[in-house]
Structure 1
Amino acid sequence: MDSTQRVRAILSFVNAADAGSFAAAGRLLGLTSSAVSKNVASLEKALGVRLMNRTTRNLQLTQEGTAFLRQARLALEALDDAVDAVATQRLGPSGRLRISTSSAFGHEHLLPVLPGLLSRYPALSVDVDFDDRVIDMVRDGYDLAFRGGNIPDSTMISRPVCKLNVAIMASPEYLARQGVPHTPQELRAHRLVARRFLGGRVSMWSFQGEDGSITTFDPTDAAVLTLSAPEAVVQAACDGAGIAQVGVHLAWPHLLSGALKVVLHRYHHAGSYEMVMQYPHRALLAPRVRATVDYLLDAFAANKALHVQLEALNSYVA
Structure 2
Amino acid sequence: MDSSQRVRAILSFVQAADAGSFAAGARALGISSAAVSKNIAGLERALGVRLMNRTTRTLNLTEEGEAFLRQARIALEALDQAADAVVSSRAAPTGRVRLSTSVGFGREQLAPVLPGLLARYPGLAVEVDFDDRVIDLVHDGYDLALRGGRIADSSLVSRTICHFNMVLVASPDYLAAHGVPRRPEDLAQHRLLTRRFLGGRVSPWNFKARDGSITTLNTDASVLTLSSPETLTQAAVAGLGVAEVGAHHAWKHLQSGALRVLLLKAHHPGHFEMTLQYPHRALVAPRVRVTVAYLLEAFAQMEELHLPLSALRAYEA
Counting only pairs closer than 5 Å after superposition, residues 53-68 of structure 1 correspond to structure 2 as 64-68=22-26
Q: Which residue of 1 aligns with 2:44?
A: none
Q: Which residue of 2 aligns with 1:176?
A: 176
**Per-residue deviation, 1:185:** 1.2
Long gaps (5+) in structure 2: 1-20, 32-80
Counting only pairs closer than 5 Å after superposition, residues 101-112 of structure 1 correspond to structure 2 as 101-112=101-112
> 1:72 pairs with 19, 30, 52, which one?
30
Q: Which moved more, 1:256-265 or 1:212-221?
A: 212-221
Question: What are the Cα deviations for residues 28-74 of structure 1, in whole angstroms up to 9, with x where unaligned?
Answer: xxxxxxxxxxxxxxxxxxxxxxxxxxxxxxxxxxx65344234439x
**Per-residue deviation, 1:85:** 8.4
Distance in 2, matches of 1:175 and 1:277, equals: 38
Partner AA of 2:287 in structure 1: R
Distance in 2, matches of 1:309 and 1:136, equals: 32
Distance in 2, matches of 1:104 and 1:170, equals: 20
Distance in 2, matches of 1:82 and 1:213, equals: 49
Q: Which residue of 2 aligns with 1:159?
A: 159
RMSD: 2.3
Partner AA of 2:257 in structure 1: G
- Aligned sequence identity (%): 58
Q: Does 1:280 align with 2:279?
A: yes
Q: Is the 8 A contact 1:255 1:261 kept in 2?
A: yes
**Per-residue deviation, 1:204:** 0.5
Q: Which residue of 1 aligns with 2:147?
A: 147
Q: Which residue of 2 aligns with 1:8?
A: none
Distance in 2, matches of 1:287 and 1:279, equals: 13
Name which one, 1 or 2, has greater alpha-carbon Rg: 1
Partner AA of 1:200 in structure 2: G
**Per-residue deviation, 1:283:** 2.4
Distance in 1, matches of 2:26 and 2:281, equals: 16
Distance in 2, matches of 1:225 and 1:90, equals: 56
Q: Which residue of 1 aligns with 2:132?
A: 132
Partner AA of 2:262 in structure 1: V
Q: Is the 8 A contact 2:164 2:307 kept in 1?
A: no
Question: What are the Cα deviations for residues 152-181 of structure 1, in whole angstroms up to 9, with x where unaligned?
Answer: 353200000001211000001100110011
**Per-residue deviation, 1:227:** 0.5
Task: Provide closer, same or farther for how the CA distance between residues 183 and 150 of structure 1 changes in structure 2, counting only shifts above 3 A.
Answer: farther
Long gaps (5+) in structure 1: 1-62, 74-80
**Per-residue deviation, 1:263:** 0.4
Q: Is the 8 A contact 1:102 1:146 kept in 2?
A: yes
Q: Which residue of 1 aligns with 2:262?
A: 263
Q: Which residue of 2 aligns with 1:252?
A: 251
Q: Is the 8 A contact 1:162 1:276 kept in 2?
A: yes
Q: Is the 8 A contact 1:160 1:274 kept in 2?
A: yes
Q: How many pairs does the alignment contain?
A: 249
Task: Provide closer, same or farther for how the CA distance between residues 260 and 68 of structure 1 changes in structure 2, counting only shifts above 3 A.
Answer: same
Partner AA of 1:68 in structure 2: A
Partner AA of 1:291 in structure 2: V
Task: Provide closer, same or farther for how the CA distance between residues 84 and 157 of structure 1 changes in structure 2, counting only shifts above 3 A.
Answer: closer
DSSP-derived class of the 2:169 partner: strand
DSSP-derived class of the 2:142 partner: coil
**Regions of 4+ moved over 4 Å:** 81-91
Partner AA of 2:300 in structure 1: A
Distance in 2, matches of 1:163 and 1:117, equals: 23
Distance in 2, matches of 1:249 and 1:150, equals: 18
**Per-residue deviation, 1:89:** 4.8
Counting only pairs closer than 5 Å after superposition, residues 26-41 of structure 1 correspond to structure 2 as none
Partner AA of 1:254 in structure 2: H
**Per-residue deviation, 1:126:** 0.5
Q: Is the 8 A contact 1:192 1:242 kept in 2?
A: yes
Task: Provide closer, same or farther for how the CA distance between residues 67 and 285 of structure 1 changes in structure 2, counting only shifts above 3 A.
Answer: closer
**TM-score, reference length from structure 1:** 0.74
Question: What are the Cα deviations for residues 252-289 of structure 1, in whole angstroms up to 9, with x where unaligned?
Answer: 11111111100011100011110000001122211111
Partner AA of 1:250 in structure 2: H
Q: Is the 8 A contact 1:181 1:187 kept in 2?
A: yes
